[in-house]
Every structure is written in structure tokens, then in C-alpha cells.
Amino acid sequence: MFRTTMTLAALGLTLALSPAGAQTAPAAPDTTPLPPTTCSTVELSKMNAETAKMTDPDRKAAAMKELTLATDSMARNDMKGCASHLGNAIRMIPGRG
């Protein structure tokens, strides 16, 4: 009886001291390939119109933030950054990502 109690106490102590991250599996990264994107005012306008039609408020807010970042990148002539943010916004639109 004493041996069983001590074994269970040691097991409980081991679980209590182990890091929380070791007890759960990490989330898998999004590996969906980006659709081909070109940064242009026409493409950004089209994406703004599609984003405005979205019904999920959380995804809509995140997509609008990505579009704002894409517009800012385009204004700085950072086309790689613009395409990256535009691709992220496209992923958030249902049926496009």
C-alpha cells in the first residue's frame, strides 16, 4: 500500500513539474500554397470588395488588416511584402484560400 502511494505521488509530481508545452502537440503551420498574386491597385480594389462581403467578423477584420498592410507595402514600393500580405488576405476569404 505504501509503495503504491509513493509511486502515484511520484507520478503526480512528475506530471505537475513537466512544462505545459510538452503535454500538448503544437499546432500545424498553415502550409497552403499562396495563390499567384500581383500587387496592383486593381487587385487591391477587387480584394477590398470581396472582403467587404465577408460575414465572419473576425476573419473580415484580419483580412482588412492584411489588405491595409499590403497597401502600405505597395506605397513603399515593397512588392514582395505587398504580395505576401495580399496572399494572406486571400487565404482568409472563403472559397479563395
**CB-side exposure of 31: number of CA atoms within 13 Å?**
3
Over residues 31-77, the pLDDT tens digits come to: 555 555 678 889 899 999 999 999 999 999 999 999 999 999 999 99
Q: How many Å apart are CA 54 and CA 21, to the nearest integer?
A: 35
Q: What is the pTM of this model?
A: 0.61
CB 39 within 8 A of CB 48: no
What's the grid cell of residue 63? 483580412
Residues 75-91: what's their mean pLDDT? 91
* Helical residues (DSSP H) of the chain, grouped into ranges: 2-17, 20-23, 41-52, 57-75, 79-92
Q: CA distances (Å), 6 to each of 15, 16, 18, in order?
A: 14, 15, 18
Residue pLDDT, tens place only, 31-41: 555 555 678 88
